Structure formats: structure tokens, C-alpha cells
Amino acid sequence: MAARKRASSVTNSAKTALSEPASSPTELKTAVSGEDFRLAPPKLGVIFVISSLLCSLYLYLLCFHYNVDNELKRPILINAGLSLVGFFVTLKLIPVAARYVLRRNMFGFDINKRGTPQGEVKVPESLGIVVGIVFLIVAIVFQFFNFTEDSVWLVEYNAALASICFMILLGFVDDVLDVPWRVKLLLPSFATLPLLMAYAGHTTIVIPKPLVSYIGLEVFDLGRIYKLYMALLAVFCTNSINIHAGLNGLEIGQTVVIAAAILIHNVMQIGASVDTEYHQAHAFSIYLTQPLMATSLAMLAYNWYPSAVFVGDTYTVFAGMTMAVVGILGHFSETLLIFFLPQVLNFLLSLPQLAGIVKCPRHRLPKFDPATGQLTGTKDGTLVNVYLRIFGRKSEKSLCIHLLVFQALACAFCFMLRHFLAGWYK
């Protein structure tokens, strides 16, 4: 279920070439190579293209298309500015952190390049910690700039920070200590508790109009079951990104696509409504999603194919948690679930193996052929493999782009669905 190829957990590698740093002279060599270590330069061109694709629509809607109240627009733009700073800070810190991380032997080998020279490079792991820390600092500092604060807002914001921070902590502990997967399933539930406590919103669901005559209610108060649903949503989000992974750039890629969709959804809702509480909820989501987007894009500069760093569980659980948090506190969790359609699909495909009904290997990655440089789908139940089996062999980079386009299509599908069901559904 792990995202990548962790050095300590790979047992079936055939490589014996790497020397053990146990004896002193070899140790010296490792230490020297650690200091000489230079990360490949960030792929800023790719990031520029991706950012433009994702953010242009959002920025256009925010600044030109909708008449957003100035009081609201100003904090959003301040937050965007801080996020931009976060982008550059992350960009700068990742090479620094990569050195420290390598020194502690937290690295992996790129399984999808096994058999080529690239497959022997020690890739630093768990660089998600940099993204997480910069995100937290941006989010914390932003509190001082938000002029539309009130007590409820502060409670929700601090509860969100506490939840996300706890999740980053658990993710990093997992990356370092490799906790058993049952524990990994349980822990996000604890991380969501501050959130559930602070959630002061409605726990009702709106019954779709066609079903009202059968159920007899227009609005159904789920009460505590709604809070259970929120907790499960968080557990789902944190883990689902983790299992839809394994290709260079896929983890961060899916996150930024969904984040872009979240931002567009938020600004559309703000533009289409006059209810201030509604505005606040969606602005809240923007305040956390912009930093997520910016810091993730900075890391993607190093993680895009071919990956110079791996993100680790730290990143995937952090990203999943942040999106669950904004979905819950922004009151659009059902919409979020539809953005997560590929992840849901992947989860359903994975169920037999996760449940143990079908044998589940350590890594459920496609098969890499060093001769052609292409990936072929195996019989494992993941979206990556199924996609390969349906559409034929692909190179890693092209497959990743395909899957990200698929993610974007799922988000677009969600927008269309909302549009068409608007009158009919609610």
C-alpha cells in the first residue's frame, strides 16, 4: 500500500552492488558523497506549464469574472501572496533537506527504473516534511492578516491547523519508523478529532427532490452520524492518495489537480451566492488550499519525471488531510468526493487485495521493461495497472500525464454534474 520504493522495505531487489557503509572506509565514502550530493535542478518549465493550466481559470474567475466583495478579495490575495512566498521557500529548502535526509539514510530506489542506471540512484525520501512545515508556517502567519476573523472562524482555523499538523507528525513518524498498516488506518481518526469538535455547521443533508416523496422529509438531520461520515472521509482521503501512487509525480500531480478544482469550485460558489456565511466557508477553503497548491507545485518541480526526490507518506497523508479538512469546514464534502472519483475507483479496484481475498504483494506497481522503457499493467487491482491493461503499454511519464488528465476530466465531470443537477437535485 506504500507510495514508493522504500529502501528498508524492499526485499526482492537483485542489486548487491551498493556497498554497505558498515566498515569505516566505506562509511567515509558515503559521508563524502553525502556532502557532494547535488540534487538535479528543479524542472521549473514543467511547473510553469502546469501552474498556468491549473491556476489561470481560477485567477480569471476570482479577479475578473465574478464581482467578489473587496473585503473578501483582499485576504484571498494576501493569502495568495503568502502562498507564493511559500512556493519559493519550499523550492529553496528541498535541496537542503534532501542532504539531511540522505545523511540519515532515508532514501529509496526508483523501482520503475530498475535495470537502468537511474535505478541505482539513491533518491531522498520523505521530502513531504518540507512541504508540510512550510505550509503550516504560511497558514499560521496568514492568521495575522485575515481581517474577517471572528471567534468561530478562529476556532475552526486553529482546529484545522491542529488536525493537519498532527497528520503531518503521524505521516513523518510513519516514514521514519514504518508503522504497521493497521495503525496507519486508525491514526487519521485521531487527527480529525479537533476538527469534529470545532465543526459548528449543520449536520443535515438535503434529500434529492425525486426522493422526497419516498422519504417524507426534505432535510434529514444526521447528527452524530454526519460526524462519523466526516471522520471516515478524512481517513479515506488520507489513505486513498497513498494507494494511487507509484509513478513519478503522480502523488503531487493528483493533489494539485484536485486543489485547482477545489479553488475553482470555491470561487464559483462565492461568486454565485450572497450569503456571507457561505462566503466565509468557501473563503476558508481557499485560505488553506492556496498554500497547499503553492508548496506542492514547488515540490513537484523536483518530483516530476524523472524524480529527484520522493514525497513519502508524509506528503500523501498531509495532502489528503488538508483536502478533507477544507471539504468538511467549507461544507462541500460531497463535491470533494466526486473530485476524488479516480481515487474512489482505485480504492474499489484495490479492495480485494486490501481485504486479503486476493494475494497482495508489497508493491502493486506495473512491470517495467528496461529495454523499451515502457510499463505494462500487471494483474494487480490498481487504477494504474487497469489503465495500462486497457490502453496498452506506456512510458512512465506519459502514463502519469494520462492519469492526471483523467483526474482533471473527473473534476470537470463533477462541475457538469452539479450544473445539470442544480435545479433537479436541490
Q: Kindly indicate which of the ranges 15-23, 257-265, 368-376, 398-406 contains the residues binding its own copies, using the contact rule CB under 8 A.
A: 15-23
From the CB of 250, what's the least distance to its own copies, in Å?
Answer: 22
Distance CA 181, CA 256 (A): 26
Chain centroid to Cα 259, Å, comes to 8
CB distance 160 to 325 below 8 Å: yes
Query: Which CB, 69 or 178, lies closer to its own copies?
Result: 178
88, 100, 391, 425: residue in contact with its own copies (rule CB under 8 A): 100
Instruction: Please report which residue ranges of 61-150 form alpha helices under DSSP H.
Output: 70-103, 128-142
From the CB of 233, what's the least distance to its own copies, in Å?
Answer: 18
Distance CA 32, CA 246 (A): 30
CB distance 426 to 206 below 8 Å: yes
Distance CA 156, CA 154 (A): 5
Q: Which residues pair with 204 in a beta bridge?
A: 221
Tally the C-alpha atoms within 13 A of residue 226's C-alpha that lie toward its C-beta: 20
Locate 262 and state its grid cell. 477545489
From the CB of 207, what's the least distance to its own copies, in Å?
Answer: 29
Query: Which CB, 99 or 393, lies closer to its own copies?
Result: 99
40, 49, 63, 141: residue in contact with its own copies (rule CB under 8 A): 141
CB distance 288 to 294 below 8 Å: no
Peptide bond into 25 cis (omega under 30): no
From the CB of 356, what's the least distance to its own copies, in Å?
Answer: 24
106, 286, 288, 308: residue in contact with its own copies (rule CB under 8 A): 106
Query: Which CB, 159 or 301, lies closer to its own copies?
Result: 159
Distance CA 313, CA 173 (A): 9
Distance CA 279, CA 138 (A): 22
Query: Which CB, 145 or 406, lies closer to its own copies?
Result: 145
Q: State which of positions 150-209 bind its own copies (CB under 8 A).
A: 151-152, 154-155, 158-159, 161-162, 165-166, 168-170, 172-173, 176-179, 190, 193-194, 197-198
Please report whether residue 8 would count as binding its own copies according to CB under 8 A.
yes
Locate 373 and state its grid cell. 522503457
Q: State which of positions 18-47 bind its own copies (CB under 8 A).
A: 18, 20-22, 24, 27, 30
Contact set with its own copies (CB under 8 A): 7-8, 10-13, 15-18, 20-22, 24, 27, 30, 97, 100-101, 103-107, 109, 122, 129, 132-133, 136-137, 140-141, 143-144, 151-152, 154-155, 158-159, 161-162, 165-166, 168-170, 172-173, 176-179, 190, 193-194, 197-198
